[in-house]
Amino acid sequence: MAAHNRHAQFTRQRGFTLIELLVTIAILAILGALAVPSMRSFFIRNGFAGIGNEFNGGVLRARNEAVSKNICVTMCLSTNADSTSSSAPPSCAGTGTDWQQGWIVFLNPECDASLNKPTEKNAAGTAVDKPENMLIARTAGNTNYRLTGNVNKILFNARGQTDIAASSSGLFILSYVPSTDLTTSYGFNICVDRLGRSRSVPVSVAAVATCLSY
C-alpha cells in the first residue's frame, strides 16, 4: 500500500522533460518568426488606412460645414495644432508640404484665403481670435508616414467648392518612409477636386493630370 502511494506521488509530480521543453520553444520561435512579417504588414496597412480616413474625414467635415452653415471654411497644414497657448493658438503653417505634421479646419466667415487661424473682425474692424470657430485640430502623427500635398491650404466656399484651380487638383501622396516597397504594396494617394470631393486612388497615380481623369 505504501509503495502504491509513493508511485502515485511520483506520477503526479512528473512534468516536461528538458528535451520536450526545448522542442516546444523551438516550435514557438519558428511560428513567431513566420508571424512577424505578417503582423508588420498588418500594422502598416492599418496605419495607411487610419491616416487616409482622417484626412478624407477632414475634407468631408470642412465641405459639409461650409454648405450647412453657408459660410467659408479653411483647411490647412499646421505644425502647432496641439497648441493650447492663447498667445499662439493653432494656425496654418504657411509653408511645407507634409500634412502628417498636422492640420486644422476652421470657420472663415469673411472668406479670406489669406486667413491662417480662426478670427473675426469686431465692430471696430479689428481681427480678434475666435477659438470657437475651430472645427478640427489634428496633431502631428507617426513620422514613419508622410502625406505630401501639392497645396498646404484649401478654402471651401458656401457651396462646398474649393479654391483649387479648375485645371488642377489637390494631390496628396501617402507614403511609408522606411520602405518604398511597403508604400507600393499598401500606400495610396488622395485627390481633392474643385467641387470639394476627395477620393483615394492607387499609389501609381502620382500626377495631377492623372488624378483629374481618374
What is the pLDDT at residue 115?
94
What is the pLDDT at residue 15?
61
What is the pLDDT at residue 212?
67
Contact partners, residue 62, CB within 8 Å, separation at least 6: 73, 74, 75, 105, 135, 136, 154, 156, 196
Please write the tens of the pLDDT for every residue from 135-152: 999 999 999 999 999 999
Cell match 508571424: residue? 35
Mean pLDDT of 180-185: 88
What is the pLDDT at residue 192?
93
Rounded-to-integer distance, Cα 211 and Cα 208, Å? 5
In the chain the domains, ranked by start, together with CATH numbers, are 20-212 (3.55.40.10)
Identify the residue with better confidence: 172 or 28.
172
Rounded-to-integer distance, Cα 201 and Cα 92, Å? 26
Average pLDDT, the chain: 85
What is the pLDDT at residue 19?
75
Kindly report which listed range (27-36, 50-59, 110-119, 173-182) carries the lowest average pLDDT score: 27-36
Measured over the CA atoms of residue 59, residue 90, residue 164 and residue 107, the dihedral's sign is: positive
Please write the tens of the pLDDT for every residue from 154-179: 999 999 999 987 667 788 999 999 98
- Smallest CA-to-CA distance from 192 within 56, 47, 52 is with 56
